[in-house]
């Protein structure tokens, strides 16, 4: 039983990566499973609308119910829920895009994204997974992880996304030390050329002893965010302030839930 759940999950992951329409044969080859097994799993997934079969080609793709599940995940996410108003006000005040992220293995998962309040076309990044070492959200979070957790993150994959991505663990450790000291993390074109991010960690009622639950920050064109590689002071101050307010909300919420 449990094996079939794992296999069904593998099918969903396969349909969610790369080629998005796959036939039974392709899936069975990719997963190393018998065609009959894959077919049975697909039928069950289709019955629950987790996958859809294209009538013309007979190929399978992800089902629309996954969007509902994804939204349900976001709705139930406490940091996201509490960050909505804070993120709006930060975007208004700084005139920059705002992102909220939480650690997910060697990545940061973007759980909220407010567009830069101008007329430009932007793409929604909610759901994106960014390598932690290449963004300020990730570095802000990592700076407050315990040593064991941090060693694991430093030992994991550290892909070079641009010529400026810091990929050497000693250099990253040095950067994290500075972030702990300053309370704000800066990323200078380490994920995308021409873009920068300034972020600060968010804590819940357990405080910084157990690490940050996530981070909030502004992201945008490097020339608007940084001066000589350093955060514009007014932006850093606004980010820090919002992270502090959000942390207060996160801590308060938990205490309240315990029945205060």
Residue reference for tokens 């955060």? 231
d(CA 196, CA 252): 31
Q: Label the pairing between strands 185-188 and 195-202.
A: antiparallel
Who contacts 46 (Cβ-Cβ below 8 Å, separation ≥6)? Answer: 52, 53, 60, 63
Q: Which residues of this chain interact with another protein, rule CB under 8 A?
A: 16-20, 107, 120-123, 125, 128-131, 159-163, 165, 191-195, 221
Identity of the residue, 51 or 242, whose beta carbon is nearer to another protein in the bound complex: 51
Nearer to another protein, 20 or 43 (CB): 20
Q: Give strand pairing partners of 250.
A: none
Nearest approach, Cβ of residue 181 and another protein (Å)? 28
Q: For the CB of residue 201, give the shortest distance to another protein in the complex, in Å.
A: 20
Minimal distance, residue 128 CB to another protein, in Å: 5
Torsion angle defined by CA atoms of residues 139, 140, 141 and 143, in that order, rounded to the nearest 10 degrees: 80
Crossing angle (nearest 10°) for helices 24-31 and 35-47? 110
- Among residues 139 and 240, whose Cβ is nearest to another protein? 139
Q: Return the number of other C-beta atoms located less than 10 Å from residue 242's C-beta.
A: 26
CA angle centred on 12, ends 6 and 17, rounded to 5°: 125
What is the nearest approach in angstroms of another protein to the Cβ of residue 61? 12
Calculate the CA 178 to chain-centre distance: 23
- Copy the structure tokens of residue 186: 């800066």
Name the minimum Å distance from CB 175 to another protein.
Answer: 18
Q: Which is nearer to another protein, 160 or 178 (CB)?
A: 160
- Which C-beta is closer to another protein: that of 86 or that of 132? 132
CB of 208 to another protein, least distance (A): 27
Nearer to another protein, 108 or 246 (CB): 108
């Amino acid at each position: 039983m449990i094996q079939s759940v794992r296999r069904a999950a593998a099918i969903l992951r396969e349909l969610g990566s790369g080629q998005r329409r796959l036939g039974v044969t392709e899936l069975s080859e990719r997963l190393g499973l018998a065609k009959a097994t894959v077919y049975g799993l697909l039928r069950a997934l289709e019955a629950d609308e987790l996958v859809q079969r294209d009538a013309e080609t007979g190929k399978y793709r992800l089902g629309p119910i996954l969007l509902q599940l994804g939204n349900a995940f976001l709705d139930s996410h406490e940091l996201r829920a509490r960050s909505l108003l804070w993120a709006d006000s930060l975007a208004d005040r700084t005139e920059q895009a705002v992102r909220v992220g939480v650690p997910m293995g060697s990545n940061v998962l973007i759980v909220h994204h407010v567009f830069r309040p101008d007329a430009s076309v932007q793409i929604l990044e909610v759901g994106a997974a960014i390598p932690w070492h290449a963004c300020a959200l990730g570095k802000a979070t990592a700076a407050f992880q315990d040593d064991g957790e941090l060693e694991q993150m430093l030992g994991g994959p550290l892909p070079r996304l641009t010529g400026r991505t810091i990929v050497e663990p000693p250099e990253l450790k040095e950067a994290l030390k500075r972030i702990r000291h300053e309370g704000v993390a800066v990323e200078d074109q380490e994920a995308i050329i021409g873009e920068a991010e300034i972020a600060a960690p968010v804590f819940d009622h357990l405080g910084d002893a157990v690490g940050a639950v996530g981070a909030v920050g502004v992201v945008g064109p490097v020339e608007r965010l940084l001066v000589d590689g350093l955060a514009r002071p007014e932006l850093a101050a606004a980010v820090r302030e919002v992270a502090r307010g959000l942390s207060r909300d996160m801590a308060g919420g938990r205490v309240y839930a315990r029945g205060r």
